[in-house]
Amino acid sequence: MDINYTPEELAFRDEVRSFLDNKLPKDIASKVKNGQHLGKDDTVRWQKILNEQGWMAMHWPVEHGGTGWSPIQKHIFEEECAEYGAPTVLPFGVNMVAPVIIKFGTEEQKQTYLPKILNSDVWWCQGYSEPGAGSDLAGLKTKAVREGDHYIVNGQKTWTTLGQHADWIFCLVRTDPNAKKQEGISFLLIDMETPGITVRPLITLDGEHEVNEVFFDDVKVPVENLVGEENKGWTCAKYLLTFERTGIAGVGQSKAALKHLKTVARQVQQNGKPLIEDPLFRNRLADVEMELMALEMTNLRTVAAAQAGGVPGAESSFLKIMGTELRQEITDLFRRAAGPYAQPFLPESFEADYDGESVGPDFANTVSAKYFNMRKLSIFGGSNEIQKNIIAKMILGL
């Protein structure tokens, strides 16, 4: 039993650090660290750098351009990226649709889609949720009717993250309205340029345009865009949902955020002393610190189990709940650190090129927006309540 990295693992960490030192653009890292907006260009620029290095596709098999990393190496890479302020790789292409294409797609589909995903030439978004199908995803109604060489798609998807930038969308659609819930679903790839698709922004409570509604009105989709068999889409969906989730705990993000929070709490004054010396605040910091240590160890145990050949199943549900609650707690402390200056709302200051004056301290500009934005963590990707249902069923046998 040894909780320390082996010399080989440490050497890999050094390699990752040296790559990040040399290749991560400073302007992008600065935006990430200051909680400012990342544009589409920033994300694509960073992902192309990753691809040049051969490090874009952690979870793919090597023959398709994957890194061939062990679970521990993946963990180290994600930790270091978070520490350095590298943008999170957008999962929709490389970590969501690609593994499904690799597993269930035809040779032609692999050749058509995978290289462009690797090089971030195509921006993908996810068409799963619908107004009537959230946690109960299999209740989806968007339908695709086969007509000759095409499916005709009608319906509506929602909560489509960054769909405003997307070139393609992967969708779950109902192809057999008479089958039982999960059985009549198919997995379709759809070009966002196809006539009949309308994207409408959804503005979230922090003023952000991150998610969208996507409407399909007699959209013609070639049958060769079907992945896997018709009516077997639920298999693809399940595969995707249980796919590699090493980063789900967000340990790296929480560590970076806590470090920043401590810096802020040393600067902010309260009763003539740094806030970090306030007993109540310090107590909550200590609580976050110990919970983070517990989360990190639990995450490492899961990673090590995967390294030993185990398949992380419902265990990742524990990590999702613990990790998201902790990240939310940190955003709550940031809000409190800002004090009354948590109130001013200056969305323009979220842009890196903002040259106006802050109302309060610089760090305070984004804290409340971020606090509200991060409420999403316990809702998306299977709400934390759904995660508890999964654990109750899969691990506890209830």
Partner 1 sequence: MDFKLNDEQRMLEETVGRLVRDGYPFDAREKARTSELGYSTQMWQQFAELGLLGVPFAEDFGGFNGGGPELMVVAEGFGRGLVLEPYLATVVLSGTLIDALGNDAQKESLISSIVGGELRLALAAYEPEGRYDHTHVATQAEKQGDSYVISGSKAVVLHGDSADKLVVIARTGGETRGREGLSAFVVDADANGVSRRGYETIDGLRAAEIHFDNASGELLGEEGGAADALEASLALGIVALCAEAAGAMEVACDQTLEYIKERQQFGVAIGKFQALQHRMVEMRMELEKARSMTILAACSLDAAPPVRAKRLAAAKAIIGKSGRKVAEEAIQLHGGMGMMEETAVSHYAKRIVMIDHQLGDLGYHMQMLESLLDVDEDAA
Applying CB under 8 A, the residues found at the interface with partner 1 are 1-6, 9, 72, 262, 276, 282-283, 285-287, 289-291, 293-295, 297-298, 300-301, 303-305, 307-308, 318, 321-322, 385, 388-389, 391-392, 395-398
Smaller CB distance to partner 1: residue 106 or 263?
A: 263
Which residues lie closer than 8 Å to 31 by C-beta, 6 or more apart? 37, 38, 42, 352
* CA distances for 289 relative to 161, 273, 292, 339, angstroms: 31, 22, 5, 21
Residue with tokens 């654990």: 391
Smaller CB distance to partner 1: residue 88 or 307?
A: 307
Rounded Cα gap, residues 374 and 231, in angstroms: 35
Both tokens assigned to 264: 């802020």
Both tokens assigned to 220: 């013609």
In the complex, the smallest distance separating the C-beta of residue 395 from partner 1, rounded to whole angstroms, is 7
Both tokens assigned to 223: 């049958």
Smaller CB distance to partner 1: residue 203 or 297?
A: 297
Instruction: Point out the residues that are catalytic.
Output: 244
In the complex, the smallest distance separating the C-beta of residue 384 from partner 1, rounded to whole angstroms, is 10
Smaller CB distance to partner 1: residue 221 or 261?
A: 261
Query: What single letter denotes the amino acid at residue 138?
Result: A
In the complex, the smallest distance separating the C-beta of residue 5 from partner 1, rounded to whole angstroms, is 6
Transcribe 88-121 into DSSP letters: PPPHIIIIIIHHHHHHH--HHHHHHHHHHHHTT-
Are 134 and 155 in contact by the 8 Å Cβ rule? The answer is no
Smaller CB distance to partner 1: residue 200 or 301?
A: 301
Rounded Cα gap, residues 271 and 267, in angstroms: 13
Q: How far is CA 47 from the centre of its chain?
A: 14
* CA distances for 241 relative to 44, 114, 138, 252, 389, angstroms: 24, 19, 13, 22, 15
In the complex, the smallest distance separating the C-beta of residue 265 from partner 1, rounded to whole angstroms, is 10
Smaller CB distance to partner 1: residue 287 or 362?
A: 287
Q: How many CB atoms lie within 10 A of CB 144?
A: 28
Residue of 59, 62, 215, 191 lying closest to 131 (CA atoms): 215
Residues in the chain, total: 398
